[in-house]
Amino acid sequence: MNIFLASSEVHPYSKTGGLADMVGALGKTMVQAGHRVGVVTPLYLGVRERFPRMMRLGLPLDFPLGMNRASGEAWSLEPMEGLTVYFVDQPALFQRSGLYEQYGIDYADNAERFMFFSKAVVHLALHLPRKPEVLHLHDWQTAFAAVFIHHQRRLPQWHAAPRTCLTVHNMAYQGLFPASQYALANLPWDYFVPDGVEFYGQTNYLKAGIAFADLLATVSPRYAREITTPEYGCGLDGLLRHRSAALSGILNGVDYDEWNTTKNPCLPYPYSVNDLTGKSANKRELQREFGLPEIGDVPLFGSIGRLVDQKGVDIMLGALEQMLGANLQFVLLGAGMPRFECAFRALASRFPSQVAVRIGFDQALSHRIEAGSDFFLMPSRFEPCGLNQMYSLRYGTIPVVRATGGLDDTVIDIRDDRDRANGIKFSVYSSPALAKAIRKALALYAEPELLQWFRRNAMAADFSWEWTAKQYVALYERMLATARPQPTG
């Protein structure tokens, strides 16, 4: 099958979160399964320098953007046979220090940036010699492409348009802009209606995709159910219920070529389920790196992530306040909202022998934290899938998670299944509930045999990408087997 994936971030070219890991691994795995894959992503600052083998495609990208025009070009890179990555190069829009924001504030022209990108995605899908049968979009930054394809079907050459699938990685980020920004699409205003692009008088990019993509997916079965409810649907639950026949929940996978404990250049000491001595050595190394006392028998909790409301940062801070009287250490790697960054820095300066934080983004350090910690805290308010808890499992680091979205689908509490328990789950979103879960972790730590049992189960859990990629391909096949959508209008 010939498949096109479009995403505003793709590992190893750009990354702010799990979206990049997901699209990078999905493309690679589909190629390994024998499909031909094109991945389209913006050309951000520094990427051309890091990947000098990239070549000019010679396909100009020149589109109206409302009353203006913007032009750019495309570059391509073939990291493996069967996989081509297309970079959309528009320096004024994409050559910036951040992907979406600077100093915690979104770029003021994000509507223009990702409308241009969505137009480029469609242009490449329709004009490259090898036309994709499926255009798989990811999140609001590419969602508008579904409207353009839908619109194509009104035109005489409509049959050339691919089918569209939109994966929603997070309902909380919708690309919501003033109504006037709809003009950037240069489409008739009949799409700007309540069952289309319009959302309470504003232009909603994600809603555009949800309304017009042929198929919808999200990144775990539980989140697929949650987003059809008002609590998790972020205002789009009604539309999602309306489109529920087209919606699937497919759990993300883990790229075990990168996230493993045996052959990993980021880890000072390799280890495996049968010999955990390397894990203890990584723990000591991590304590040294963070300036914490190098004590072997103190339980070490780690956490990595965007410091935003979604990740349960407020209850993590509250629970740590309650629990720091106990014998435990905590290390954090993260960046995000300034108030959360300050709060963690303050906690570290009040408890210097127990708490240490690194504010910033550091992929190699994230591996060392996963490997050196005993427990991994992920108390998310909501979590579409979550990758870190799956990385923790493979690293024998017991995840302590709130039972929501993909966290609930991937972590097994002893109350769910005694024999397969690999983590600790709690339900109520509160600091005391998390503090109680941390106390359970301390109790587990005090029972080495039980802890070893949890670790064995954790390291045996298998979330390989092959399974996830197969689910998506089955979805595409179902979509291609149904009658082509008829031209409308």
CA of residue 400 relative to chain centroid, distance: 19
Q: Is residue 22 involved in binding ligand GLC (CB under 6 A)?
A: yes
Closest CA to 396 of 317, 294, 327, 300: 300
Q: Between 17 and 233, whose beta carbon lies closer to ligand ADP?
A: 17
Q: Is residue 9 involved in binding ligand GLC (CB under 6 A)?
A: no
What tokens appear for 297 in the block?
């028998």
Q: Which residue has the tokens 């993300």?
A: 252
Q: Between 121 and 378, whose beta carbon lies closer to ligand GLC?
A: 378
Interacting stretch for ligand GLC, rule CB under 6 A, among 182-190, 384-392, 434-442, 467-475?
Answer: 384-392
Distance between CA 16 and CA 2 in Å, rounded?
28
DSSP calls for 338-374: HHHHHHHHHHHHHSTTTEEEEES--HHHHHHHHHH-S
Q: Are strands 68-80 and 55-65 parallel, antiparallel or unpaired?
A: antiparallel
Q: Is residue 221 involved in binding ligand GLC (CB under 6 A)?
A: no
Q: Is residue 336 involved in binding ligand GLC (CB under 6 A)?
A: no
Question: How far is the CA of 64 from the CAs of 21, 185, 241, 475, in angstroms?
Answer: 32, 8, 34, 34
- What is the spatial order of strands in the sheet that 198-199 belongs to? 176-178, 202-204, 198-199
Looking at residue 452, its amino acid is: Q
Distance between CA 426 and CA 434 in Å, rounded?
7
Q: Between 70 and 385, whose beta carbon lies closer to ligand GLC?
A: 385
Q: Is residue 5 involved in binding ligand GLC (CB under 6 A)?
A: no
CB of 317 to ligand ADP, least distance (A): 17
Interacting stretch for ligand GLC, rule CB under 6 A, among 42-50, 101-109, 377-385, 396-404?
Answer: 377-385
Cβ–Cβ < 8 Å for 209, 240: no
Cβ–Cβ < 8 Å for 40, 116: no
Q: Is residue 387 involved in binding ligand GLC (CB under 6 A)?
A: yes
CB of 485 to ligand ADP, least distance (A): 31
Coil, strand, or helix at residue 254?
strand
CB of 406 to ligand GLC, least distance (A): 6
Q: Which helix (H) or strand (E) holds 469?
A: helix 465-481
Distance between CA 236 and CA 243 in Å, rounded?
11
106 binds, options ligand ADP, ligand GLC, none, Cβ within 5 to 8 A by partner type: none
CB of 3 to ligand GLC, least distance (A): 18
Q: Between 22 and 355, whose beta carbon lies closer to ligand GLC?
A: 22
CB of 392 to ligand GLC, least distance (A): 13
CB of 141 to ligand GLC, least distance (A): 12
Q: Exactly one of 370, 383, 408, 409 binds ligand GLC (CB under 6 A); which one?
A: 383
CB of 386 to ligand GLC, least distance (A): 5
Q: Between 171 and 298, whose beta carbon lies closer to ligand GLC?
A: 171
219 binds, options ligand ADP, ligand GLC, none, Cβ within 5 to 8 A by partner type: ligand GLC
Which chain residues interact with ligand ADP by CB under 6 A?
17-19, 21, 304-306, 333-335, 361-363, 366, 385-388
Report the site for ligand GLC in 145-204 (rule: CB under 6 A).
169-170
Q: How far apart are the first and last CA of the chain?
A: 30
What tokens appear for 172 in the block?
């909380």
Distance between CA 162 and CA 164 in Å, rounded?
6
Q: Is residue 250 involved in binding ligand GLC (CB under 6 A)?
A: no
Which residues form the interface with ligand GLC (CB under 6 A)? 17-19, 22, 169-170, 219, 252, 383-387, 406
